Amino acid sequence: MGDKLEVAKTYLSQGLPVTSILDLCKIPKSSWYYARNPKACTAPQLARGRPLTNYCYNMQGERVSDEVIKEYLIKFREQKEFCNEGGCKIIPHYFKRDYAIIINHKKVYRLCKELNILLPKKKKTSKFKRRISENRRVNAPNQLYQFDIKYGYIHGENRHFYLLAFLDVFTKEVVGYHIGRTCTGKDLKLTFERILASREVNPEKLVIRSDNGPQMTSNQFKYFVEEKVHHEFIPPGCPNKNAFIESFFSIFETAFLVPSYFKSFAEAYKKTVEYITFYNEKRLHGSIKKLSPREFKERYDQQEFGIVELSA
């Protein structure tokens, strides 16, 4: 390379074009400019953008240092509900509600990275070969319930337990559930019967949707609901038609089942009830204006929102 550079310098001293000479001598441009001024090429580059701050502000306009925020982040991640759930985009809303701290999600990401408490990225599923189904328009509570069954594992008894949950698609609230060692068509019937008795539901406007599981297609449940509400089934192999209850169970598994250890069914029952209460009353949802399901329903009933409509 040294000989080539000397040859190139000889030709360039005669006023010939730089690019042509470098191409002729087969010298990379980076090597040529490095040879001319090596110090400039190795000088540290200044960071672009605004300088990083080591503080944020609270709702009273007072500074809160990054060290304090890091302590809050560690406490947040140590909670059993958030040890495996709760990303950087939703954490600022928890901080604003619980600590009155205003913080950008980018700073949350940077601080979590420094603390090594970032959650692993979820694997993206393929978007191919999915059947597109016709959607309903939902613009009020108690118009569409989706329901399904999920099982968890009791480590101390080496057996499973079952959670049957009904979800209001509009408010994202779990309106009724059954937790048991088994889950039959009778359990499904009794759970839905309690929902109708405890909520102000107009059966003529309510639609319930499920997959084609044996409990959902049982004669006991069929005969109970056929004269009360409209029960529709999703097509086989098309879980996107039941996306809202599937989303709830995904959160339930990630945030609750994965980090939990149950010694007995009684413990699993108690903790599941506690998590559903937390989910309904405390957990913030990006799709309902960063509110919990109960908060969203209360503010909707008070007519704080305009027209809200979604497809399901």
Choice among 44-53, 132-141, 164-173 with the minimum mean pLDDT: 44-53
For residues 214-219, average pLDDT: 92
Are 180 and 278 in the same domain?
Answer: yes
Are 300 and 240 in the same domain?
Answer: yes
- pLDDT above 50 for 21: yes
Q: Label residue 251 left, alpha or beta by phi (over 0 means left) and psi (-120 to 50 means alpha).
A: alpha
Domain holding 152: CATH number? 3.30.420.10
For residues 181-195, average pLDDT: 96
Are 147 and 258 in the same domain?
Answer: yes
Please enumerate in sequence order all residues whose Cβ is within 8 A of that of 238, keeping only pairs 6 or more positions apart, or say none.
131, 133
**Which pLDDT band, with edges at 50, 70 and 90, does 132 fall under?**
very low
Helical residues (DSSP H) of 161-242, grouped into ranges:
185-198, 219-225
CA 170 to chain centre: 17
Are 280 and 154 in the same domain?
Answer: yes
Are 182 and 208 in the same domain?
Answer: yes
Are 141 and 240 in the same domain?
Answer: yes
For residues 31-37, average pLDDT: 74
The pLDDT score that the predictor gives to residue 38 is 64
**Which pLDDT band, with edges at 50, 70 and 90, does 133 fall under?**
very low
Mean of all residue pLDDT scores within the chain: 88
**Which pLDDT band, with edges at 50, 70 and 90, does 125 fall under?**
low
On whether residue 49 sits in a domain, the answer given is no
Number of domains in the chain: 3
Are 98 and 150 in the same domain?
Answer: no
On whether residue 33 sits in a domain, the answer given is yes
pLDDT tens profile 255-264: 999 999 999 9
Are 105 and 145 in the same domain?
Answer: no
pLDDT tens profile 234-256: 988 888 889 999 999 999 999 99
Choice among 94-103, 199-208, 284-293 with the minimum mean pLDDT: 199-208
- Rounded to whole angstroms, how far apart are CA atoms 71 and 60? 20
Buried b / exposed e across 19-37, counting CB within 10 Å, b at 16+?
A: eebbeebebeeeebeeeee
Reading the block at residue 163, the tokens are: 């959670």
**Which pLDDT band, with edges at 50, 70 and 90, does 54 fall under?**
very high
The pLDDT score that the predictor gives to residue 128 is 42
Are 36 and 94 in the same domain?
Answer: no
- pLDDT above 90 for 309: no
On whether residue 17 sits in a domain, the answer given is yes
Task: Write out the residue range of the structural domain in which residue 35 sits.
Answer: 2-42
22 or 55, higher pLDDT: 55
On whether residue 126 sits in a domain, the answer given is no
On whether residue 299 sits in a domain, the answer given is yes
- pLDDT above 70 for 134: no
Query: Can you tell me whether residue 138 is helix, strand or coil?
Result: strand
Are 7 and 77 in the same domain?
Answer: no
Rg of the chain in Å (alpha carbons): 29
Identity of residue 302: Q
